[in-house]
Structure 1
Amino acid sequence: MKSLIDMRNGAKIDGTNYKLLLKHIRLNVTDKYEFPPEIIKVNGTTVATLGNFSASTGKPKSKKTFNVSALVASALSGKEVLKYKTILPQGKERILYVDTEQSKCHCHKVMQRIMKLAGLPVDKEDDRILFFVLREYTPEQRREIISCALQEEENIGLVIIDGIRDLIHDINSPGESLNIINELMRWSSYYEMHIHTVLHQNKGDDNTRGHIGTELNNKAETILQVSKNAENPNISEVRAVHIRDKEFQPFAFEINEDALPQLVNNYKFTKTKEKISSYADMSNEQHLEALECAFKDKQSMGYQELLDSLKTGYASIGYARGRNTIVKLCKFLSNINVLIKEEQGYIFDKEPLCSGSSLV
């Protein structure tokens, strides 16, 4: 087994090692395997299993750590917290929580929050949770500390890495990103536990940051998104953006007077408009909505003004594109007689869109 561990840590594989590895890596059709224990659920939907990893993403200050605190509190209490129901199997009851960003003072608040959510005393240590503060260490040292902890500590079933970005130097490095994702896969599989990581999203869109975000999306069992409500920033919404099981009903939480997250009951989610890949795939209703926005309070307009208005109108329905695409869109609409060029400029004729027949 020691030779197997060494190879997992990067040792070269030769003929002798290959023979030792073969019984571990070869899959036989006659083998019997049990499905890995499902340890985290939301409304009956499996979010996490042993031997896999997942992630929470969101923009800065979206309360990602509050969300993770609820997940951990559920594991400690065995009760549902927010919408998380976390059950760690016997022999895997312990939790390793690693924070790479915050000071000890702030991490202490997080730990106390977890204990309070779990209904546990804050004046007594609980051996089931190990909380590491790794802010002052290098990325290499952080990975080594985690690796050593997993080797030395027994009965770890859940690992939280709040700040996976800080385990590498460059989030846009394909090599570093692939290496740390491979590390997560090795750790979770070899030690038969689940790893839940936290990573920021880009400020300008909902994509996870850097190449490491791309790798997380491709390899993780589940990606949870925590986002602020656009109208009420005190409310955070939680939904699954990537999940292997069926999607669960999103839920929302707010921070109460005790600085603890609590569910917002009867919360109504605003449906987001689906992304549109091509103007040729749009329905008549979508074109009509965009063009009515573009021609708002205008009977006709010149070509350049038309392009600017089309860009604004179609962006309002979720189809934001550059000039070249808008020029092609303008030609498309002219060919189907929705845009008509007259002496005073271009006018909008909605009749073809209201006829009930497809434009394409």
Structure 2
Amino acid sequence: MNHESTKFIVDVQPGTDFNNLPVGTTPAESTRDNVRNLPSVNAIRATWQQASAEVMRNAMRDIVSRPAIITRDGIDIFRPGTLGMIQGRHGSHKSRLAEMFCSLLLADNPRSENYAGFERYALQRFRVVYVDTERNTIDEFPRSIQSIKRLAGFSENADVDRFHAVPLKNVPRRERLAAVQDVLKFYRETSQEHLVLVLDVATDCVANFNNESEALALFDFLGQQCEASDATILMIIHENPGSDKARGHVGTEAWNKAATALQIGYQGENADILRLRYIKLRHAKRPADIYLTYDQERRGLMQTTAGESDKSKYSLDEFIDAIVNAFDGKEAIAKPDLFTILQEKTGYKKDTLEVKISDIINNRIELTDYTRDWTACHLEKENTRPITYRLTPAKAPF
């Protein structure tokens, strides 16, 4: 090896004069570009020192959490200053669920039965901004705006001063995040109420929803905006076709960063009943599923008991959910423990459980467990004493 001809990459800092590097050293071209684009060391240090001082001051006082903006049965569903998400397949009424939450926040005296049992914090007023990237501005998005106003108790042609609709369909994709930032900045500067922004849909704010770097940048931005604008942001995301997973790296990162994640979809083969699942609640144990139906006359979602489980007619999806919930984040569970939990939940006899569990294992039916880094998994049987069941990763995320 000719040491005299070796070029060493140096640890260059912002502000480095590349013409005065020591002999025998050279920065990579990418390093040159990165350094040029970095803020100065002093600016970086000032930023983190200021943030550190602020959080240390906050930690020295009594900490009182702000009330949740939306609750159900006394459980916090959406807390202020957090990210939330709604995921579902095409045609699963994701947007209508978001519309219902908007109406609830805008209504003067909302009755929970009109909003599927959800309630808003009564001692605070909210400013709701609905950002849409998909629907046209001639009839599709205007119809949604009318629905939100009507469900909130206003007439369809009323001017609701705390409600704003912002279409971004005609804004170039590369400019949409800047537009969202400006929307938040504008309404923060011109109003005092807590901001609630719906982003429908989040994947339209990146060029490639399967690009990890773009997904990370999107959620860094949204998380920062929650604090900078004192806002709660509710994202709507499509699911991958034939899967329960939200689309691409954006969907994965959305679930990681969201404090609350909801999934809505049709219940089994019953085309009229929708099941609303709490797939993630950072601040509480996940409640039971809610069953909804679309009311044509009201043009909105209504709670129904029609989808609640008849133990003699337990759907495959419900049975799979019961298995996942039985694991409760554990790596493995003994057969007697699993069967006891499932019998209490489903009412099935032991022989029936044997058959159904064997079918799931033998047919390699995919289960979804949102408590793990890998959400798609398979159920495996280990012939130990006693017999043990285990959830294992089904495949890589993408």
- TM-score bucket (shorter structure): 0.7 to 0.9
Aligned partners of 1:36 and 1:51 also within 8 Å = no
1:19 maps to 2:46: yes
Deviation at 1:130, TM superposition (A): 0.7
User: Where does residue 335 of structure 2 map in the other structure?
Assistant: 283
Contact kept in structure 2, 1:57 and 1:199, CA below 8 Å: yes
- Report Cα offsets for 1:195-233 as digits up to 9, x if no partner: 000001122221111111111111110000101111322
Does 2:293 align with 1:260? no
Number of the residue aligned with 2:26: none
Q: Which has the higher contact order (CA 8 A, sep 6+)?
A: 1
Distance across 1 between alignment mates of 2:260 and 2:103 = 19
- Counterpart of 1:121 in structure 2: which amino acid? S
Give the Cα–Cα distance (whole angstroms) in 2 for the partners of residues 170 and 288 of structure 1: 48
Structure 1 pair 161–281 and aligned structure 2 pair: CA distance change class (3 A): same
Contact 2:127 2:162 survives alignment (8 Å): yes
- Compute the displacement of 1:261 (Å): 1.7
Q: How does 1:45-124 map to 2 (within 5 A)?
A: 45-78=75-108, 79=110, 80=112, 81-87=115-121, 90=124, 93-104=126-137, 105-124=139-158
- Tell me if 1:215 matches 2:253: yes
Between 20-29 and 123-132, the greater mean CA deviation after superposition? 20-29
Are residues 1:125 and 2:173 paired?
Answer: no
Q: Deviations over 1:270-295 (max 9, x none)?
A: 5332248999856279796687589x
Q: Distance in 1 between matches of 2:87 and 2:152?
A: 23
SS of alignment partner, residue 172 of structure 1? coil
Cα 1:151/1:272, change in 2 over 3 Å = same
- Greater shift in the superposed pair: 172-181 or 202-211: 202-211
Question: What is the Cα deviation at residue 132 of structure 1?
Answer: 0.9
Supply the distance in 1 between the matched residues of 2:132 and 2:145 (Cα, whole angstroms): 11
How much does 1:120 deviate?
0.7
1:33 is displaced (CA, Å) by: 3.6
- The match for 2:280 is 242
2:386 corresponds to 1:358: yes
Task: Name the CA shift for 1:221/1:283 in 2 (closer, same or farther; >3 Å).
Answer: same
The equivalent of 2:34 in structure 1 is none
What's 2:170 paired with? 136
Residues matched between the structures, number: 304
Secondary structure class of the residue paired with 1:69: helix
How far residue 238 of structure 1 moved from its aligned partner, in angstroms, is 0.8
Kindly provide the CA deviation profile for residues 21-51 of structure 1, in whole angstroms up to 9, marking residues without a partner as x.
5233333242444313310112221111111
Q: Which residue of 2 aligns with 1:351?
A: none
SS in 2 for 1:65: helix
**Secondary structure, aligned partner of 1:233:** strand
Closer/same/farther in 2, CA of residues 293 and 207 from structure 1, 3 Å limit: closer
Identical positions, percent: 18
CA 1:89–1:220 in structure 2 vs 1: closer, same or farther (change >3 Å)?
A: farther
Q: Which residue of 2 aligns with 1:5?
A: none
Q: SS state of the match for residue 319, structure 2?
A: coil
CA contact (8 A) 1:162 1:199 kept: yes
Q: 1:185 to 1:292 in 2, by over 3 A?
A: closer
Alpha-carbon spacing, 1:212–1:319, altered in 2? closer, same or farther (3 Å): closer
Contact 2:149 2:160 in 1 (8 A): no
* Paired amino acid for 1:30: M
Q: How does 1:321-360 map to 2 (within 5 A)?
A: 358-359=386-387
Equivalent pair of 1:88/1:157 in contact (CA under 8 Å)? no
Alpha-carbon spacing, 1:144–1:261, altered in 2? closer, same or farther (3 Å): same
Residue by residue, what CA displacement relative to the aligned partner does 1:2-33 show, whole Å, maximum 9, x if unpaired? xxxxxxxx972532563365233333242444
TM-score where L is the length of structure 1: 0.74
Write out per-residue CA displacement over residues 70-128 of structure 1, whole angstroms, 9 at most, x where no aligned residue: 111100115131222123764x6211100111112111111111111111111221111
Q: Is the 8 A contact 2:261 2:281 kept in 1?
A: yes
**Residues 290 and 49 of structure 1: is their aligned pair in 2 closer, same or farther, counting only changes over 3 Å?**
closer
For 2:183 and 2:330, locate their aligned partners in 1 and report how far apart those are by CA, in whole Å. 50
Is residue 267–residue 307 contact of structure 2 (8 Å, CA) maintained in 1? no
CA contact (8 A) 1:43 1:248 kept: no
Q: CA offsets, 1:273-320, max 9 Å, x none? A: 2248999856279796687589xxxxxxxxxxxxxxx8x563469579
**Alignment CA distance shift 1:316-1:44 (3 Å):** farther
Query: Is contact 2:273–2:307 with CA below 8 Å preserved after alignment?
Result: no
TM-score (norm 2): 0.68
Post-superposition Cα deviations, 1:319-340, rounded to whole Å, max 9, x if no partner, equal 79xxxxx9x97xx77xx9xxxx
**How far does residue 183 in structure 1 lie from its aligned partner after superposition?**
0.9
